[in-house]
Amino acid sequence: MGFRTIIRYLAAAACAVLLPMAANAAGAQGITKHTITIGELGPFSGPDSLFTPLNYGGVAYLNYVNAHGGVYGRKFKIVYADSACNEETGIAAAKKLIYSDKVFMIMGQPCSGVAMAIKPLLLKAGIPWMGASADPRITTPAAPGLFHVTYTGRAMGLAMASFAMTKPGVTKVAILEHSNEWAHGYCDPAAEYVKSHHGKIVAVTTLEPNATDATPQVLRIKASGAQAVMACVYQPDLIVFLRDMRQYHVDAMTVAALGADFDQVLTTIRHHSYLKQQFFQPYQFKAKINSKALQKFHDIFVKYLPKSDLPKNGVPTNFYYFGAPCAIVAVEGFRLAGTNPTTESWDKAVESLKHFNTGLLADTETLSATNHNGVHRMYAVGLSPSGEETVYKSWNKPLPE
């Protein structure tokens, strides 16, 4: 072997060693010197596309960070993928994001069935997830890279029942639910809370998605003597139920799961004065939407989203705000992970957060190596006796402005 041949051989061997080192220096899949690629997986089509604002809220915040220089000079590149809230479609979309688009992480996905379906894929590929799906099993027990920084169905179910039972005299509670895992994720913890606080579940009735009539369910609840209803159903079905509750003069208050947007429900039910002190939902935020305390986020959504991604009237609703913490915490993880982040250093950075204030949620984020579920405390939102949308700490105790 000649001298030049030996030199070429040694140079090639050196490159073979240095190339993996260069890849590691970049930090992880999806991270380059100038960009961090984020996969936004959500139901951008189909009947469940009403949940896509959960994705758009996070996207707006990432665009806002980009406009202010990014994180250590890296800007976020966003790749969208449509799950249609269908498990098979979601798995195919996640595979594209991971293996073709080569994202660092997947963010946003609000549909629990899809999130649970892609969990094995995420763990095998070592791809982080930070979404707004309600099922606590996604992150419990804690799994590498998977984080809940919005409220799980369990937290919301406990909030629903605990608020209802602060109303004096409420001991008899009915359950209205879909038969799917999403609904059980809310209503099972709610029922547990009622029973453990000297209450009684007097009726359990099922209303399946795409219902056009809730008469049998409403009449059963009326006959049970329930003073409150835990409604774990999606928005269109909740609207049908609330209308039939009025038609049959059922006085029990309804506390609904977050399968619906409070403002959209009121907009859809044009003459909704009968819902005063009768319809409530868990409330995720530290102040009322459109208040001065949350003005920053309203402005971010309006400025950093195209008009096509906002409601027709241009006013962001609940789900835009609810999706933003996924991006807020992810960005904080990158800031803490330093100038050369890896998947492992980002994970540890997120796990290090203690009482981190998103500036948005009712609770602060506290995570650890064994706890990947960051927030728990919530309020409730409903219409006051005068018909004003009001955030409550407990029955008839409004959150101070």
User: Of 20-29, 198-207, 216-225, which gets the smallest average pLDDT?
Assistant: 20-29
Q: Indicate which CATH number applies to the domain containing 223.
A: 3.40.50.2300
Given a cut of 80, whether residue 123 has pLDDT beyond it is yes
What confidence tens digit (pLDDT) does each residue in 66-111 have? 999 999 999 999 999 999 999 999 999 999 999 999 999 999 989 9
Total domains in the fold of the chain? 2
**Structural domain range at position 169:** 154-282+379-398
Given a cut of 90, whether residue 48 has pLDDT beyond it is no
Tell me how far CA of residue 186 lies from CA of 134, 245, 313, in angstroms: 8, 21, 31
What confidence tens digit (pLDDT) does each residue in 188-216 have? 999 999 999 999 999 999 999 999 999 99
- Does residue 98 lie in a domain region? yes
Residue 8 gets the label, from left (phi > 0), alpha (psi -120 to 50) or beta, of: alpha
- In sign, the C-alpha dihedral spanning 182, 187, 190, 195 is negative
User: What does the pLDDT read at residue 11?
Assistant: 38
User: What does the pLDDT read at residue 196?
Assistant: 97
Query: What does the alpha-carbon distance between residue 387 and residue 322 come to, in Å, rounded to a whole number?
Result: 24
- Does residue 272 lie in a domain region? yes
- Does residue 244 lie in a domain region? yes
Tell me how far CA of residue 230 lies from CA of 9, 163, 212, in angstroms: 72, 11, 19
What order do you get walking across the sheet with 105-108 strand by strand? 75-82, 35-42, 105-108, 129-131, 146-148
Among 313, 334, 351, the domain boundary falls at 351
Given a cut of 50, whether residue 15 has pLDDT beyond it is no
Same domain as 303, residue 317: yes
Same domain as 318, residue 226: no
Tell me how far CA of residue 191 lies from CA of 160, 201, 229, 251, in angstroms: 10, 7, 11, 20
Cα–Cα–Cα angle for 139, 145, 146, nearest 5°?
25
Same domain as 342, residue 229: no
Sequence letter at residue 381: V
Same domain as 344, residue 202: no
Q: What confidence category does residue 290 fall into, taking pLDDT thresholds of 50, 70 and 90?
A: confident
User: What does the pLDDT read at residue 4?
Assistant: 36
Same domain as 158, residue 147: no
Q: Report the share of the chain in percent with pLDDT over 70.
A: 93
Same domain as 308, residue 219: no
Q: What confidence category does residue 27 fall into, taking pLDDT thresholds of 50, 70 and 90?
A: low
Same domain as 330, residue 196: no
- Does residue 29 lie in a domain region? no
- Does residue 3 lie in a domain region? no
Same domain as 130, residue 158: no
Pairing, β 279-283 against β 146-148 = unpaired
- Does residue 28 lie in a domain region? no
Same domain as 331, residue 189: no
- Does residue 86 lie in a domain region? yes
Query: What does the alpha-carbon distance between residue 337 and residue 257 come to, in Å, rounded to a whole number?
Result: 35
Q: What is the 3-state secondary structure (H, E, C) of 106-141?
A: EEECCCHHHHHHHHHHHHHHCCCEEECCCCHHHCCC
Same domain as 166, residue 237: yes
Given a cut of 60, whether residue 8 has pLDDT beyond it is no
Structure tokens that stand for 335 in this block: 């800031």
Same domain as 266, residue 159: yes
Distant-in-sequence, close-in-space partners of 174: CB < 8 Å, separation ≥ 6 = 201, 202, 203, 204, 205, 220, 221, 224, 226, 228, 229, 230, 252
Distant-in-sequence, close-in-space partners of 308: CB < 8 Å, separation ≥ 6 = none
Structure tokens that stand for 281 in this block: 């939902």
Same domain as 109, residue 94: yes
